[in-house]
Amino acid sequence: MTELCDLTGTELAGKLRAGEVTAVEIVRSSLARVEAVDDRVKAFLTLTPEVALERAEAVDLHAATGAPQSPVAGIPVALKDVLTTKGIRTTCGSRILQAYVPPYDCTAWVRLSGAGSALIGKTNCDEFAMGSSNENSAFGPVHNPWDLDVVPGGSSGGSAAAVAAGEVVWALGTDTGGSVRQPASLCGVVGVKPTYGRVSRYGLIAFASSLDTVSTFTRSVRDAAVLLGELAGNDPRDATSIDAEVPDYAAALAGAEGLAGLRVGVIDGTFGDAVQPGVRDAIRAAVDRLQGLGAEVGEVNLPHADYALSAYYLIAPSEASSNLARYDGVRYGFRAEGEWADSVAMMSATRGQGFGPEVKRRIMLGTYALSAGYYEAYYGQAQKVRTLIIRDYRSAFERFDVLVSPTSPTTAFRIGERADDPMAMYLSDVFTIPANLAGVPAISVPCGLDGAGLPVGLQLTAPVLEEARVLRVAHVLESDLGLRLRPPLLDAA
Amino acid sequence: MPVEIDIEHVAKLARLDLTDDEKVRLREQLGAILEAAAKVGEVAADDVPPTASAIERTNVLRDDVPDASLKQEAALMNAPDRAGDRFRVPRIVETGQ
């Protein structure tokens, strides 16, 4: 049965405005859903029901005065557990931060909280956002609401699953190489990675600083536009945040019915052998619909895309090895037990016990790639490839307004299936990584189900700061397809 | 060919204790990953400038005025060990002989 928590944020805001429901009722609906399904989905690491209810009461009091409300006020939200929340444990899915309570809020949460958002909790993720399946969490895997035996994707798997299962109306994740778009695709929800710097990274616990973005999960494109509008904008606390005006993303959707004249470039490899047949079919049907809506469809080749994965797996671990140097057993809660001869022995033991296998792999990879004698051959060369990828996009966008591809070459795979094969796991991100290297905005929008009933996402990419363009095209496609995606879990007895 | 890595040396640089099993596995996995990643050298010609950040912002400055900062107690609240208002750590410098 459809409950309040199954509605979109836009629908709920409308009901709140009309006085048809209270924020407390909405939050209670969300909490009831968590109670009903999270023992199976395991999307949350920390629940904050008292924070959410207190906020909802405040929103209802404010509404009673007749004052205008933010479109996010009273709407249940979840935050990936790499976003700091003052006084609320923030673990990054890691043993090394298992007891860490941040003394400050990330800017993304400052903005949503200031607008009245109701925090339901902090969601599970791959440790330090490193992974594509959520199996790298020190606190166990998340289960995909579409099939509890398959992964939700990663690294923001908990946020994606929570939104898909109606545990929250929307959620934040972080996308460094596809960590929001890929799980959005695998869980049948909308994922938006904005332009690098569009949303402040302050309080996003750093993985790869030149690639990290705060990104959104929603159940409609309109909700994504609303949420991004609240988050975007310059922040003096993040020197890489862009100082550009924030358009009214939701307004940009108005009157968007057809796509006449829109030039759509289908990225080379979209229908290649590496893409599952079920994914190819759904993407082909979506591209046909874009054409049916008036778009001019052509093919586009990003000549250096084949090198993007290699460049990414040098740049991201290099930056990670530097960022994660701060976990030294001194300031963030966890320290290995024992009597230590000196600080280095204590730090090395703490890090050896505190980090999981994937994080160790990337710290080692990055340390090696940055070390004397190898820096030029690996990190230096990878930075040049980043230049080539940026040029590829620039020339593609001379011919096309948006680029499309699958978000992920496969639908959700079984838990455990790729766990022992890092190279196979890294291939999950082959379509998403180039956008992070180039800093451009991209969206994953659901476009169908495969033969096994698992969701497929279409990725749309636009030039820097053209979030409104991918949102508009995705909105038109979403309206045209008219999918009503609802995981079977919610209707099971 | 897989890249040969001195795992002990890299682990020391990374301040990371590894078990013997981890060393064996990482030597093999990193060798294979680096072999694939070395592909970047095929296209990164001398005349291609490196890019450190896709959206470059330079000289981002603020006015040099004092502002509220984290209180000492807040900074220390996650310390696994402290001595008064300081973080306590095992000794760093050699003392005596």
For A206, the token pair is 């750093």
**Cα-based angle A274, A278, A282 (whole degrees, multiple of 5):** 105
Residue A419 confidence (pLDDT)? 82
| CA A174 vs CA A154, A306, A382, B92: distances in Å | 10, 24, 22, 37
Nearest CA in chain A to B91: A342
Nearest CA in chain A to B5: A368
* Interfacial B residues in 62-91 facing A (CB < 8 Å): 62, 70-71, 74-75, 77-81, 87, 89-91
Residue B94 confidence (pLDDT)? 67
Q: Regarding beta strands A263-267 and A190-193, do their DSSP bridges make them parallel or antiparallel, or are they unpaired?
A: unpaired
Outline where A261-380 has alpha helix (H).
Answer: 277-292, 305-323, 343-354, 357-370
Q: Which residues of A touch B75 (CB under 8 A)?
A: 103, 331
User: Quick check: A310 and A427 in contact, CB under 8 A?
Assistant: no
CB atoms within 10 A of CB A243: 11
Catalytic residue among A179, A318, A405, A408: A179
Catalytic residue among A29, A70, A80, A133: A80
Q: Which residue, among B16, B29, B76, B88, would best test binding to A if mutated, counting the most A CBs under 10 Å from its CB?
A: B16
Question: Which residue is it, tokens 């929800």?
Answer: A189
Which member of B19, B33, B78 has the closest CB to residue A422?
B33
Q: Is A310 known to be catalytic? A: no
Q: Is A154 helix (H, G, I), strand (E, B) or coil?
A: coil
B81 to chain A nearest CA, in Å? Answer: 7
Q: Is A322 known to be catalytic? A: no
Residue B96 confidence (pLDDT)? 58
CA dihedral A5, A7, A12, A18 (to 10 degrees): -120
Q: What is the pLDDT of residues A186-230, one digit of tens each?
A: 999 999 999 999 999 999 999 999 999 999 999 999 999 999 999
Strand partners, A232: A199
Residue B95 confidence (pLDDT)? 64
Q: What is the pLDDT of residues B1-24, one digit of tens each?
A: 778 899 999 999 999 999 999 999
Contact A387 B92 (CB under 8 A): no
Q: Is the pTM of this model over 0.90?
A: yes
pLDDT of A21 > 90? The answer is: yes
Contact B10 A346 (CB under 8 A): no
Q: Which residue, among B12, B18, B28, B51, would best test binding to A if mutated, counting the most A CBs under 10 Å from its CB?
A: B51
Q: What is the pLDDT of residues A256-296, one digit of tens each?
A: 678 999 999 999 999 999 999 999 999 999 999 999 999 99
pLDDT-derived band at A320 (thresholds 50, 70, 90) equals very high
Instruction: Please state the separation of Cα B61 from the chain's center in Å.
Output: 26
d(CA A155, CA A173): 8
Instruction: Report percent pLDDT > 90 for chain A.
Output: 94
Q: Is residue B16 within 8 angstroms of chain A, CB to CB?
A: yes
Q: Is A80 known to be catalytic? A: yes
